[in-house]
Amino acid sequence: MSVNLGIPAVRSSGEGNLFAHEKFQSAAKRELKNEQLRANLRHATHTIRDKRLNVVSELPDWEELRESGSRIKENVMARLPELLEQFEAAFTARGGVIHWANDATEANAIVTSLIRATGETEVVKVKSMATQEIGLNEHLESLGINAIETDLAELIVQLGHDRPSHILVPAIHKNRTQIRDIFRAEIPNASPDLTDNPKELAATARAYLREKFLNAKVAISGANFGIAETGTLGVVESEGNGRMCLTLPETLITVMGIEKILPRWEDLGVFMQLLPRSSTGERMNPYSSLWTGKNGPDGPQNIHLVMLDNGRTRALADKNGRSALHCIRCSACMNVCPVYERTGGHAYGSTYPGPIGAILSPLLTGITAEENSSLPYASSLCGACFDACPVKINIPEILVDLRAQDVEAQHSVRKAPTEMDVLMKGASWALSSGTRLKFLEKGLPAGRLLAGKDQRISWLPGIAGGWTSSRDIPAPPQSSFRDQWAQREKFQKSQGSQQSQQSQASQKPTGKQGE
C-alpha cells in the first residue's frame, strides 16, 4: 500500500528515547563530577578526532564531497514523499515487505508482531540508532523477547545494564577494567581469570556471540541508506557482526527512519566516502552490506522494513531546522564538541547526544516536550561541529533558531518575566541607542567602587552570579571610549588642529589602571 506523506495538518511528535528528563544544566553538572568519564571521553574523542582529520585532509576534494552530500540530502528532503513511494515499489517488487510506522509505539508493535509470527523468543541485533530511539529492546524485553546486541560496544552497554553515551562508540565512557568486570559478571562462560587485555576481552565476547549468531532465526537491524532507485538497504559497520545478522537468520527485520533515503545508486559513491572518514576516521569501513529484497534461496527468506516517522515529518516542516534530517549519524560533531567532551552523552537524555542531539531531539519532539528546551543551550556556539559535519548541517544556526523558538514558547505561556527576560529587555533598550549607552556609561566609576582595592569584582547577585562563580570581572575604566573620543575631538577643535595628526587618544592621562 502506498501512503501519502504530504505534510499532514497535525504532525505527530517523536516519542520513545528522545527526551531530556531533566534540564541539561543540572544533568551536566552531575556528569562533570565523574572524573573517570571525563578522562575516557577526552582520550577517546581526541583519538577519533585526530584520525578523522588525517583521513579527511588527504582528500583534495573533501569540501566538494561535503557539498555533494549536502545537496543530495536537500534534494531528498524536497522530494521525500515521491522517493519513499519509489523505494517502496522497488523494495516490494524484490519480495520485501514494507510497514509504515507513524511513531515509536506503532514501530514497536509492528516489530513485535513480526517476531511473534516466527515463534522465537530470542533475536540478534545489529547496532541501530532507530531501534534505540524507539526503545525497541526494552519493549521486547517487557514482552519476554530477548534482543541481543551483537556490536561489541553495544553488547558491553547491554550487559552492563547501562545506556549508550555515544552514537558510534556507545561504551566510550567505559574503560578496559570496567569492561572486564562486566564480562566476568554477565557472560556465562567467561573465565574467572579474565584480564583487561583487549585481545582476551574480544575473544570472550566473540565466543559468546558466535553461538548466538549460529542459532538465531530472527535478526533486527537499522539501515544507513535506503536507495529509492533500486529498493536497496545498506548497513555500514566495522566488526562483521552485522554481516552475520544480515545473512544467517531466516527473518530479517529492518527499522529505518524515512530520512535515510538516497535517490540513486550512484549517490552511494558520495556517502561511502563521507561516512567512514567522518565516523571512525577510516578511509573505508571493513564491512558494507547491501541487500535488495530477497535473494533467491540464499540468505533471509522473510525480509521486512519498518519505515519510521517518529517526528521526522515534524522536523521536515521546520524550514530552518529541516537540514538536521541530513544527518548520517557519523558522530563527527560530538567528537569535536567541547561540551560533549566534558559532559558525555548521558547528560543529553536522548538517544542522540552531542551537537546533533541538541537540535535533533527538540526538532523531533517539539521544543516544549519535557526538558528538551534546555538542549539547544548546551553549546557555546563555537562552530566546531559545523566544520566537522560531512553533510554541512549548520548546527550553530539551528541551535540559535531553536533558542528563539524556546523564548517564544516560554513567553506565550508565562505571565511574569524571568530575570533573563528583564536583563534582555533592559539591554535591548540600553544598546539600541548611542545616547542611552553614553548616559549609562556615566556609571562606570561606580563600578570601580564596587571592585574595591584589588580592582576586581568577584561576586555578583542573581544570574550574573553564574559568571562570578568561577571568574572575576576587572574594575571598569574611569570613562568609556566614546567619552575619551569626545574629549579628544574637543581638544583638537580647541587646538584648531585637524584629525590625522599625532594620535592623542586621551588628553588627560591619570596614569591610573583601567584608564
Partner 1 sequence: MRIALFSTCIVDAMYPSTARATVEILERLGHTVIFPKGQACCGQMHVNSGYFKDALPVVRNHVAAFLQEDYDAAVAPSGSCVASVKHQHPMLANRCGDDGLAADAEEVGAKTYELSQLLTDVLGVTNAAEQLGSYFPHKVTYHPSCHGMRLLRLGDRQQNLLQTVDGLEFAPLPEADQCCGFGGTFSIKNSDVSTAMLNDKADAIEATGASLCAGGDASCLMHIGGGLSRRGSQARTVHFAEILASTREKPLVIPEAQGGVVVLNGGTR
Per CB under 8 A, contacts with partner 1 among 409-438 are 420, 424-425, 427-437
Site for partner 1 in 364-403 (CB under 8 A): 376-384, 386-387, 400, 402-403
Report the alpha-carbon distance of residue 315 to residue 347 in Å, rounded: 23
- Rounded to the nearest whole angstrom, what is the least distance from the CB of residue 441 to partner 1 in the complex? 6
- Rounded to the nearest whole angstrom, what is the least distance from the CB of residue 437 to partner 1 in the complex? 5
Report the alpha-carbon distance of residue 497 to residue 388 in Å, rounded: 54
Report the alpha-carbon distance of residue 41 to residue 342 in Å, rounded: 7
Three-state secondary-structure class, residue 412: helix
Report the alpha-carbon distance of residue 325 to residue 316 in Å, rounded: 7
Binding piece for partner 1, criterion CB under 8 A, among 9-17, 127-135, 258-266, 500-508: 500-508
- Rounded to the nearest whole angstrom, what is the least distance from the CB of residue 408 to partner 1 in the complex? 8
Binding piece for partner 1, criterion CB under 8 A, among 58-66, 270-278, 358-366, 502-510: 502-510
Among 116, 210, 414, 512, binds partner 1 (CB under 8 A): 512
Neighbours of 466 (CB within 10 A): 11
Residue 495 in contact with partner 1, rule: CB under 8 A: no
**104 or 358: CB nearest partner 1:** 358
Residue 493 in contact with partner 1, rule: CB under 8 A: no
Residue 288 in contact with partner 1, rule: CB under 8 A: no
DSSP letters spanning 323-334: GGGG-----HHH
**4 or 428: CB nearest partner 1:** 428
Among 4, 189, 494, 503, binds partner 1 (CB under 8 A): 503
End-to-end CA distance of the chain: 76
Report the alpha-carbon distance of residue 362 to residue 380 in Å, rounded: 18
Among 418, 481, 490, 497, binds partner 1 (CB under 8 A): 481
- Rounded to the nearest whole angstrom, what is the least distance from the CB of residue 52 to partner 1 in the complex? 14
Report the alpha-carbon distance of residue 311 to residue 133 in Å, rounded: 11
Q: For residue 445, how far is the Cα from the chain centroid? A: 46
Alpha carbon distances (Å) from 369 to 132, 179, 347, 362, 430: 19, 35, 16, 7, 34
**7 or 463: CB nearest partner 1:** 463
**200 or 483: CB nearest partner 1:** 483
- Rounded to the nearest whole angstrom, what is the least distance from the CB of residue 460 to partner 1 in the complex? 10
The binding track of 342-361 with respect to partner 1, each residue x by CB under 8 A or -, is xx------------------
Residue 255 in contact with partner 1, rule: CB under 8 A: no
Indicate the burial class of 209 (C-beta count within 10 angstroms; 0-12, 13-18, 19 or more). buried
Only one residue has cell 544533568, namely: 27
- Rounded to the nearest whole angstrom, what is the least distance from the CB of residue 133 to partner 1 in the complex? 25
**208 or 348: CB nearest partner 1:** 348
Site for partner 1 in 319-338 (CB under 8 A): 338
- Rounded to the nearest whole angstrom, what is the least distance from the CB of residue 28 to partner 1 in the complex? 5
- Rounded to the nearest whole angstrom, what is the least distance from the CB of residue 337 to partner 1 in the complex? 9
Binding piece for partner 1, criterion CB under 8 A, among 98-106, 161-169, 173-181, 470-478: 470-478
Question: Helices marked H in 143-266 — which ranges?
Answer: 152-159, 176-186, 198-215, 241-247
Which helix (H) or strand (E) segment holds residue 127: the answer is: none
- Rounded to the nearest whole angstrom, what is the least distance from the CB of residue 48 to partner 1 in the complex? 15
Among 116, 414, 482, 490, binds partner 1 (CB under 8 A): 482
Report the alpha-carbon distance of residue 101 to residue 85 in Å, rounded: 15
- Rounded to the nearest whole angstrom, what is the least distance from the CB of residue 26 to partner 1 in the complex? 9
Alpha carbon distances (Å) from 61 to 50, 58, 64, 112, 290: 19, 9, 5, 45, 26
Q: Edge-to-edge, what's the strand order for the sheet holding 287-291?
A: 261-262, 225-227, 232-237, 287-291
- Rounded to the nearest whole angstrom, what is the least distance from the CB of residue 381 to partner 1 in the complex? 6
Q: How many residues bind partner 1 (CB under 8 A)?
A: 79
**192 or 511: CB nearest partner 1:** 511
DSSP letters spanning 467-497: HHTT--EEPPPSS-HHHHHHHHHHHHHHTTP
Site for partner 1 in 1-60 (CB under 8 A): 24-25, 28-29, 32
CA nearest to 103, candidates 5, 1, 222, 14: 14
CA nearest to 129, candidates 271, 276, 331: 331
Neighbours of 52 (CB within 10 A): 24
Among 458, 459, 490, 493, binds partner 1 (CB under 8 A): 458
Report the alpha-carbon distance of residue 200 to residue 195 in Å, rounded: 7
Report the alpha-carbon distance of residue 224 to residue 331 in Å, rounded: 13
β-strands 97-101, 302-308 pairing: parallel
Binding piece for partner 1, criterion CB under 8 A, among 140-148, 206-214, 233-241, 449-457: 449-457
Residue 461 in contact with partner 1, rule: CB under 8 A: no
Residue 110 in contact with partner 1, rule: CB under 8 A: no
**279 or 379: CB nearest partner 1:** 379
Binding piece for partner 1, criterion CB under 8 A, among 118-126, 260-268, 305-313, 474-482: 474-482
Among 407, 445, 450, 487, binds partner 1 (CB under 8 A): 407
- Rounded to the nearest whole angstrom, what is the least distance from the CB of residue 474 to partner 1 in the complex? 4
